[in-house]
Structure 1
Amino acid sequence: MSEYFKAGALLKEKRGGDHVSHKHAHKKKAIMDFISKLNCEEPHYCRGKTKRYYLPAELSINKLWLMYNNSQTDNLKVKKSYFRNTFNQNYNLGFGSPRTDVCSTCLQFSEKIKIEKDNNVRNKLLINQRIHKLKANAFFGYVKEEQSDLLTLSFDCQKNLCLPKTPDQSAYYSRQVNLFNFTIVQGSSKSKLEPSNVFAYCWVENSFPKASNQIASALYHRLQNTELDGIKTVRLIADGCAGQNKNTTVLAMCTKWLAEAPRHVKTLEIIFPIVGHSFIPPDRVFAQLEKEIRKREIIANPDEYYNIIKDFGQVITLGESCKVFNWKDEAARVMKPVGRWHFQFKNAKRYILKRSKKEGNVLIKGNIHYKHDDGVFKNVNLPGRLSINLQPAEISPTNKISESKASDVRKLLINHYGDNWHTIERLNFFVPLISDPSDEMQMMTTQNTETIEDVMCEPQEEITSMLI
């Protein structure tokens, strides 16, 4: 109280609190100086503005602590716990994983720049590397773009899902039935991934192959069943796989749909990325799916895959909920061969479609660059053929797989479930796909007999030389 009357303030409480950290401030500063000199990288699939950076995968906190202590004098060395607390509390750093799908062009530039000694050549490499990355960023600008009158659909195929999925080691050497997942995501890369805007078109290889007809049919179904009120531009984004996405089959389907679309839809764009830089929203869906699939030891039929996919999107089965049409043959009947088009089909990164003044027809323009409009709209149909006249025939699903694959799947099922595998209800999917074993044995016996006869017809000298 006497201190209060003298100074006008109460005494400062000295009991408790931190009386130690200031003694080690010089050590903390030395640690932070050491960490700040480390080379950090943004994640390979960096999305938007991120504040988290990653150190090389071969490092760890323990290794960093040893490196720090080895580089400091005794008065600045610290315990591992003190170094760990400083690292975790003051930095948002992680340790990356080795990259597996890096762009080949980017790697070539990096390696050439490292070993190049001529400054002029090295500067040219740096310029070309910069241009390459700017092109990749220009593509991602389209993926991120959001407008009230713009509808963006990005699509891709997941890696083949095997049936049956078992932990049996014999599965590694066995051919299996493939289930295909073609996913379409509605919205930009900034959109939240929900079942309402993720559409998984699934089918098994015994029904249809994975080809351009199936991709075009799924896209056509999605475009027809998407709300288009107030939409003036529809943008399709996919990787440049020629067998599935970047082909006349998909373009023909797009011209057909635009010719029939509501009049307020003015243009349709198809945009492909720079090779090696094709991370789009479906890849985020696939990452989540594969994480869940890894948790399942056994997946014995397509329905079990569908139940996993339903947690992330709407499952639409090709051949049932979505019809498959022969767009490829119909495109050849209506459209000119690619060699007669007015732009280089392979080199174009953007295709823009708009209606022609001629009712029922659509014009196409191909741009090689993302920002520069270097193409012109022209008709690519054969004389007298209109886009609206495309009438692809429906393709019926089959129920067959190759004999060699059927044999491998049968052996795998017998190894894992026993000779009576066909009595297990969970495996009913495979019963109609696999031929009778007795038929296979008869076929193998016939083949072996023919092989022996062929050998016996050879001259004795050649047989002797073969045995030797």
Structure 2
Amino acid sequence: MFFLLNLVHREKVAKNFFNQKHIKGMLINLLGELPRERRGGNRVGPKNDETRNCIKRFIESITCTESHYCRSKTSVRVYLPCDLNFKKLFDHYLRRVPQPMHVKLSYFRKFVNANYNIAFGTPLTDCCSTCLRTKEQLKVATLDVRQNHQINYNNFTVVAGTSTDKLRPKNMFSYLWTEIDARKDSNTIASALQHALKNFDFDPSKETVRLFADGCGGQNKNTNMMAMLAYWLLEESPKHITQIELIFPIVGHSFIPPDRIFGLIEKDIKKMPVIVEISDYDDLIRKHSTIRKIGIDWDVFDWRTQAKRVIKLPSSWHFEFNKAKWFIFYRKDKNVLVEGEPNYCSDVGQAKSICKKKCSIPSMAPEKLPLGKGIKGDKSTINVLLSNHYGANWRSLPELNFYKEYLKTASASPEETVDSLENCQNAENDCFFI
């Protein structure tokens, strides 16, 4: 059987070969040559030559730089500014070329990666003063204050909602101020939170406001904050709000929304190679949160003085203030009763007044504090830093007006003593979760 099939196969091959050879001979006799084969081949490539040339001209028109950390002088890898990425580069290409030359992002990326050794750089962190000064003289750029850690720009964020709510500017409020304006103490934090509570649209069906914050004694967990919350509940809260719960999570734990907003802001800041003006930070924060500037949208009030005058010392309270993790404020007639619980699941304590004898919550009238009193210590080293980067005539540069005003205000001043019950880290970001 196998032998028979093999003979049949050979017969078909020979027949096909004969027919093919016979037909070719006839065509040559009739036409003088064989017709050109037009099947298959690259039919699309030639049509895209003009598009590829357009992309090539665009890429080669961009000014690239070599890496500051190249291990070999023969390296051909070049870098684009760190604030760019493929999407931004592609959008720039679409704006510069006519419509017929537009392509998809995937095609653009594939062509660039296949024909060019280009990457996106990272912000410089250790550039020497000489290089930076020369660079800044060639193009108007400025000093990255945050990376030099000379001036603190504080961001106290209040997040309204639940841990599952989407982070949007309408429910996130960033209270911003520099250390020139005010210290980051309990007066400033309490004033910012009071402004947030006064301007928040509470659901009329809700009777309880629940607040979450870290237990930093110098900012959140202190008698000044307690005095402000008691005053707001009694004098300024909507009538349907009758109770406040202030909860301090276990040390090391925090809520996701505030951490996420700080993470998004930090991610955007890392993409900026140079930051000099406060407005640059404002623009970054504004993408994720509603910003509220001190002295424009809100003011700082002296809650410390009023708390010392009206509120008892924590050692005289009817519960152990330091051990309490859950504070409950009740509005009752013309007074506010406070209950403190050391655990989150037990409600066994008693609610009593925290006011001194012959003192009441409505009698508190905190005065507005002037701005510009927040500087601690001598900041004259900034003058040396700016001189190293921009030269001795740095004061003539208009983009550095912020630092000129800062140095006028900066002076050595004793640090203010803060009534705190716990140690607090002087972080740049703080938050409250409602």
Give TM-score scaled by structure 2 length.
0.59
Residue number in structure 2 paired with 1:390: 364
Q: 1-side partners of 2:273 and 2:299: how far apart?
A: 33
Residue number in structure 2 paired with 1:428: 401
Residue number in structure 1 paired with 2:337: 363
The structure 2 residue matched to 1:248, chosen from 223, 229, 234, is 223
The structure 1 residue matched to 2:166, chosen from 181, 188, 192, is 192
Aligned ranges 1:63-212 → 2 under 5 Å: 168=127, 176-212=150-186
Kindly state the Cα deviation for residue 259 of structure 1 after the two structures are TM-superposed: 0.1
**Structure 2 residue runs without a partner (length 5+):** 1-123, 130-144, 413-434
Q: Is the aligned partner of 1:412 residue 2:385?
A: yes
SS of the residue aligned with 1:375?
A: coil
Is the 1:217–1:324 contact (alpha carbons within 8 Å) kept by the matching residues of 2?
A: yes
Residue number in structure 2 paired with 1:340: 316
Kindly state the Cα deviation for residue 172 of structure 1 after the two structures are TM-superposed: 10
Q: 1-side partners of 2:127 and 2:212: how far apart?
A: 39
Spell out, residue by residue over 1:405-455, the C-alpha distance to the aligned partner (whole angstroms, 9 max, x if none): 2x211111112222222222221111122259xx99xxxxxxxxxxxxxxx
- State the identity %: 41
Cα distance change, pair 340–399 in 1 and its aligned pair in 2 (3 A) = closer
Letter in 1 for 2:331: R
SS of the residue aligned with 1:316?
A: strand
Q: Is the aligned partner of 1:232 residue 2:207?
A: yes
Kindly state the Cα deviation for residue 401 of structure 1 after the two structures are TM-superposed: 3.9
Kindly state the Cα deviation for residue 202 of structure 1 after the two structures are TM-superposed: 0.3
Is the 1:256–1:388 contact (alpha carbons within 8 Å) kept by the matching residues of 2?
A: yes
Q: 2-side partners of 1:181 and 1:173: how far apart?
A: 16
Residue number in structure 1 paired with 2:303: 327
Q: 1-side partners of 2:184 and 2:308: how far apart?
A: 19
Kindly state the Cα deviation for residue 233 of structure 1 after the two structures are TM-superposed: 0.6
Q: 2-side partners of 1:173 and 1:195: how far apart?
A: 26
Kindly state the Cα deviation for residue 177 of structure 1 after the two structures are TM-superposed: 1.1
Q: 2-side partners of 1:417 and 1:401: how far apart?
A: 24
Is the 2:183–2:374 contact (alpha carbons within 8 Å) kept by the matching residues of 1?
A: no
Cα distance change, pair 168–325 in 1 and its aligned pair in 2 (3 A) = farther
Residue number in structure 2 paired with 1:220: 194
Residue number in structure 2 paired with 1:297: 273
Give TM-score scaled by structure 1 length.
0.55
Kindly state the Cα deviation for residue 204 of structure 1 after the two structures are TM-superposed: 0.5
Kindly state the Cα deviation for residue 263 of structure 1 after the two structures are TM-superposed: 2.1
- Which structure has the larger Rg? 2
Is the 1:166–1:298 contact (alpha carbons within 8 Å) kept by the matching residues of 2?
A: no
Using CA pairs below 8 Å that are at least 6 residues apart, which structure has the higher relative contact order? 2
Cα distance change, pair 348–434 in 1 and its aligned pair in 2 (3 A) = same
Number of positions where the alignment pairs a residue of Structure 1 with one of Structure 2: 272
Residue number in structure 1 paired with 2:249: 273
Letter in 1 for 2:211: L
Residue number in structure 2 paired with 1:379: 353
Kindly state the Cα deviation for residue 174 of structure 1 after the two structures are TM-superposed: 6.1
Q: 1-side partners of 2:255 and 2:160: how far apart?
A: 15
Is the 1:316–1:322 contact (alpha carbons within 8 Å) kept by the matching residues of 2?
A: yes
Is the 2:183–2:375 contact (alpha carbons within 8 Å) kept by the matching residues of 1?
A: no
Kindly state the Cα deviation for residue 319 of structure 1 after the two structures are TM-superposed: 2.2
Letter in 2 for 1:186: A
